[in-house]
Structure formats: C-alpha cells, structure tokens
Amino acid sequence: MSFRLGLTGSIGMGKSTTAKLFEEAGCAVWDADAAVHRMYGKGGKAIAPISKVLPDAIKDGAVSRDRLKDLIGKDPSVLKTLEKIVHPLVAEDRAEFSRTAVADILVFDVPLLFETGGDNTMDAVACVSVSPETQKERVLQRGTMTEAQFEQIRAKQMPNKEKCAQSDYVIVTDTLDHARAQVEAIVQTITEQIENA
C-alpha cells in the first residue's frame, strides 16, 4: 500500500518545480493539470462529451483553451458544465494512476486540493509557499497573463495562509536548493513512517 501525499499550492508558488523534485526523490507523481491537458488534446477522453454540449470549444479535433476562456467569459455557467464533464474523467485518471504506479510514495499534484475536498483522500498534504510579492513577480514574469487576470485567479483560490495551516508540510520555494532539501526531508520522514508502520 503506497503512501498518498497531496501536493498543492496557489498559482506561482512553485508547485510544478516541487513536483519534479519529488519525482527526482523517487516518488511517482500524478499531475491534475497534465491529466486535463491529455484529455483536451486530440483523441482525448474529454473531446466527445465536450463537443456534445460545447461544440464551439472544439478546434481541430482538440479542446481550445482560448475558446473555452471566451465561452466562460460570456457565460460563467459554462464552467459548471465543463466541471461536470471533466471532474469525473480526472478522478478516473487519478484512480488509474493509483492502481498502476509503482512507488512507496505517490504524490498527487492538485492545485485546488483543499477547494475540491481532495485532501480527504490523502495520507498527508504538502503545500508550497512563497511571499505574495514573489508569487506575483513569478506569475507576471511568465508573460501569459495581466496583473488583473492574476489577481482574479488568486481571489478564487483559498488564501495561502489557510492552505499552509491545513497542510502537514509546508515547502518554502524561495530557492531551488532550499525546496529540494525540504522535499528530501519529507520523503525521508514518510519513508521512515512506512518502514515503521
């Protein structure tokens, strides 16, 4: 029986980088965003059900994120429709990973882990964190969104302080070396727990 570790954190906190560090440390990592990306791609599991209810979201046999953004912008209820299709598919993908992954520690990289109640299915939760200033700087440096869009996303997410308070581990991602040292310490702690169970 593998140990299930939830990995979460708000936008720009360094979650993707931290997930890679867990992988380097020998954990199997499941990435919720990557799962959705696969489902939206050509031949993905979400294409058929989405094309039935939101045909305008499909372009060249794949789900167009830009078109989805436009549709949701015009009608916020589109998001609920989309979630009803995508969430069960994501849950299925996660269950498949759980069944087939071979590692003592399975890491579930889920941005909205607390918001969706996913923390209840984990043995422990690790949250990535940096100062609000660093968070904002990182996101705006990507050049993929405006400051207003960033603030909009941040407003929808559970406040970082709350996420950290509800987590078993907090990983400060101010530098790569610091993050790596914390990840290795967590893996060590969990490995000892598994061995002593």
Structure tokens that stand for 152 in this block: 């909009």
The reply to whether 98 and 110 lie within a common domain is: no
pLDDT per residue as tens digits for the range 50-73: 999 999 999 999 999 999 989 988
| Pairing outcome for strands 124-129 and 3-8 | parallel
* Strand pairing class (62-63; 58-59): antiparallel
Q: What local confidence, expressed as pLDDT, does residue 73 receive?
A: 87
56 and 132 assigned to the same domain: no
For 10, 47, 52, the CA distances from 57, given in Å and listed in that order, are: 26, 9, 10
Q: 93 and 121 share a domain?
A: no
Question: 114 and 89 in one domain?
Answer: no
* Residues 44, 138 within the same domain: no
Examine the pLDDT at 181 and tell me if it is beyond 80.
Answer: yes
185 and 160 in a common domain: yes
Radius of gyration of the chain (CA): 18
Nearest CA-CA partner of 75 in 100, 90, 56, 97: 56
Same domain? 93 vs 124: no
pLDDT tens sequence across 124-156: 999 999 999 999 999 999 988 899 989 888 888
| Residue of 115, 129, 113 lying closest to 161 (CA atoms) | 129
Domain span holding position 89: 33-102
Q: With 80 as the cut, is the pLDDT of residue 79 above it?
A: yes
Residues 115 and 194 reside in one and the same domain:
yes
**Number of domains observed in the structure of the chain:** 2
Q: Are residues 81 and 115 in the same domain?
A: no
Distance between CA atoms of 157 and 10, rounded to whole angstroms? 7
**What is the predicted pLDDT for the residue at 58?**
94
Cα→Cα distances 177→117, 120, 147, 183, 189, Å: 31, 30, 28, 10, 18
Spatial separation of the C-alpha atoms in residues 98 and 6, rounded to whole Å: 13
Residues 111 and 14 in one domain: yes
Q: Is the pLDDT of residue 22 over 90?
A: yes
> Both 119 and 194 in a single domain?
yes
Contact, 118 vs 111, CB < 8 A?
A: no
Structure tokens at 30: 């499941």
What residue has token string 């290795």? 184
**Are residues 168 and 138 part of one domain?**
yes
- How far is residue 68 from each of residues 40, 50, 58, 81, measured CA to CA in Å? 11, 10, 9, 11
Q: What are phi and psi of 108, to 5 degrees?
A: -110, 105
The per-residue pLDDT for 115 is 87
